[in-house]
Structure 1
Amino acid sequence: MLNADAEPPEAIRSYASSPTTVVVLFSEPLDSAEATVLSHYSADRGLTFTKAVCQPPLFDQVILETAFAMDTAQVYQLIITGIRDCGQNEAIDPSIIKTGLAVASPPGNCVINEILFDPGANAYDYVEIYNHGPGLADAGAMYITNRNSLGQFNAPLLISPEPYLIFPGDYVVITESAAVLSLNYLVRNPLNVLELGSLPSFPDDRGSVVLLDATGQLLDEVNYSRNWHFKLIDNPEGVSLERVDPLGSSADPGNWHSAASTAGFGTPTYVNSQFKKQEEIGVQIKVIPPVFSPDNDGRDDITTLHYKTGEQGLVATIFIFDAAGRLVRNLVQNELLGDSGYWNWNGTDNANQLLSVGIYIIQTELFNLVGNIKRIRSTVVLAKKLNFKKVL
């Protein structure tokens, strides 16, 4: 009998339910015994795990206990390898997902970033939330509502019934039907769409969109108008209003613009077509030499990552993976950069053991003061010199 399920499981998202507990959600039920093997799970920033439990009855969640409390200010990279489902389909490529411990988001960190209040036929309103950081936010502790004719909040609706982390730089969309949204717009990140049974009423002419935290504190509010649309659009039906600058005022009509026609009149789950482009992180990284042989012969025993940047306040973290995608070395952790500098790698892993010959991927993650992130991947070859014996 053929196995109808040929797809391996995939880690889809994660969150910390306490400072020492990480929950990982998978795309399907797992082999519950195999999922408890700790060697399948690793993380950056020195985070280690002491126990793994595959959660019944669906067995599509794994609970990881950490060796120490997580820092609420940190985003952790979780690397998962070798996981199998009940049909013994094994994930060959590693799953790398973010996790962390969210705290109450202060006003202004998460903003209302895009609104579709006048959908086309057989479509639904949507609201997009953007976290420009710093810090992690939890959609499971946020509510959406509007104001009545007296200016009072109507009954707020919980955005997510379970914890759902919104990381810095993430775009999360709230709507009544993810399927209908995908039929009408390009949805680049389907996992970032949250469905509600019904949204608050957002009239086609003017109205309000309000974001609250679990205590009722106002996080953001937009009192929109149909007149905010681009004046040359005759009929704004099906056209979303996009925020131009996430750091600009929510109440400023000049900070909102109709989504571009070239973007399909809406950009749910990704950067707005009318986004005010901030300066990208400018940095150059060179790996010299690209092939090295750590055999202590005095020649190319180490490889050096040279960096040069014209921006102050950059923080770097560097991971090194083998050709199979396994994390083998945390080379740098949250290092504050100068204008230029370098890091050396001698070909050893986190246990200070010399790695085998092969291709290795160096992933450099850079963060700046306003929460922008840039990832640079480089390759390097760890080689071994051949010894030739003279034949007489």
Structure 2
Amino acid sequence: MNHRFLGRAGVLWGLLTAPGVFAQTPTADRLIINEVFYNTDKKSQEWVELYNPGLNPVDLAHWSIRDSRKKQELSSSSYLVPGHSFILLSNSSLADSLQVRTLIVIGLPEWNNSGDEMVLYDANGAMSDSLVYSADWGGGRFISLERLAWDGNSCDPNNWASCIDPAGHTAGRNNSVHAPERRAVVTLSVSPSPFSPDQDGIEDQTEIGYTLPMARAVVHIKIFDSAGRQVRYLRCNGSSGPQGAAVWDGADEQGRRCPIGVYIVYLQAIDESAGRVEQAKTVCVLAERR
């Protein structure tokens, strides 16, 4: 079968390779429990470190943390935690001794040395992260319990270990046992391409298939023309498992058939558990059958 299509290869290549051409959807505000200093002589020496794994700042106003007995608000006023940064919660002003940049002094719950529960809530009362640890997970007298992988399960004992830094902790720094984040691989395919949506019953639609390196994700799929103009928002805030597909019939948002040519398929996936954002781009050809 013969197809005819128009392309603008130079412009198209630039759109596919240039970062930041397409607007990104912000990730959900989320903080994770990253390090716990729980086995000390005094309650005033205890602290917990939080980490913002996302790109966007998180406002701590009206966030809270609790153990099995007590719940404590972190801040009653606006307090921004920038993306990819740490913040320490403590019962006393330890900034000088720990040499950390960001510290909030609150009446923390008292963590039990034998094990305890920590639950972190956002301003809406939704759980952002939780941890139920025991002494055999790691940590010890003046040695912190550190998280290995930011994108790992908080409740998995294999994702926690004793700090191996000579100071006994890594407050405000990457953990001494930190495991680099696994590089996500997103696959994106379009078939058939070319396709000809002329309602003759043959290749009138194309299927956009994808696989994701995450168990649950929020997926966005957009179609752009070769000049970078969005013509169709094919999937918006769709909940997805590790694989899925969407069908494009060649129409724009108004239901009109798009002109023949080369189109860019853009996928963005936001990990529901870690807030990590992955994206992929590929091309699709809308043709005319001769």
Deviations 1:78-103 (A, max 9, x none): xxxxxxxxxxxxxxxxxxxxxxxxx9
Which residue in the other structure is 2:92 paired with?
Answer: 177
Which residue in the other structure is 1:222 paired with?
Answer: 131
SS of alignment partner, residue 173 of structure 2: coil
Deviations 1:213-261 (A, max 9, x none): 122211110001111117xxxxx21111010001000011110011114
Deviation at 1:271, TM superposition (A): 1.2
Q: 1:111 aligns with which of 28, 32, 36?
A: 32
Which residue in the other structure is 1:277 paired with?
Answer: 180
Which residue in the other structure is 2:163 paired with?
Answer: 259
Deviation at 1:161, TM superposition (A): 2.6
Q: 2:74 aligns with which of 154, 159, 163?
A: 159
Distance in structure 2 (CA, Å) of the matches to 1:122 and 1:175: 9
Distance in structure 2 (CA, Å) of the matches to 1:252 and 1:122: 26
Opposite residue 174 of structure 2, the aligned amino acid is V
Structure 1 gaps, min length 5:
1-70, 75-102, 149-153, 231-235, 281-368, 373-392
Higher relative contact order structure (alpha carbons within 8 Å, sequence separation ≥ 6):
2
Opposite residue 93 of structure 2, the aligned amino acid is A
Structure 2 gaps, min length 5:
1-22, 184-269, 271-275, 279-290
Identity of aligned residues (%): 24
Deviation at 1:127, TM superposition (A): 0.7
Which residue in the other structure is 1:90 paired with?
Answer: none
Deviations 1:256-314 (A, max 9, x none): 0111143x11111221111112489xxxxxxxxxxxxxxxxxxxxxxxxxxxxxxxxxx
Distance in structure 2 (CA, Å) of the matches to 1:260 and 1:371: 30
Distance in structure 2 (CA, Å) of the matches to 1:247 and 1:254: 13
Which residue in the other structure is 2:61 paired with?
Answer: 140
User: Does the alignment pair 1:194 with 2:104?
Assistant: yes
SS of alignment partner, residue 254 of structure 1: helix
Which residue in the other structure is 2:145 paired with?
Answer: 241
Which residue in the other structure is 1:209 paired with?
Answer: 118
Cα contact 1:129–1:172 (8 A) shared by 2: yes
Cα contact 2:60–2:123 (8 A) shared by 1: no
The normalised TM-score by structure 1 is 0.38
Written as runs of structure 1 = structure 2, the 5 A alignment for 1:76-91 is none
Distance in structure 1 (CA, Å) of the matches to 2:171 and 2:93: 11
Distance in structure 1 (CA, Å) of the matches to 2:62 and 2:24: 16
Distance in structure 2 (CA, Å) of the matches to 1:215 and 1:123: 29
Distance in structure 1 (CA, Å) of the matches to 2:111 and 2:171: 17
Deviation at 1:104, TM superposition (A): 6.5
Q: Sort the Cα spacing of 1:165 and 1:237 in 2 relative to 1 into closer, same or farther, 3 A.
A: same
Q: How many residues are matched?
A: 166
Q: Sort the Cα spacing of 1:73 and 1:176 in 2 relative to 1 into closer, same or farther, 3 A.
A: farther
SS of alignment partner, residue 61 of structure 2: helix
The normalised TM-score by structure 2 is 0.51
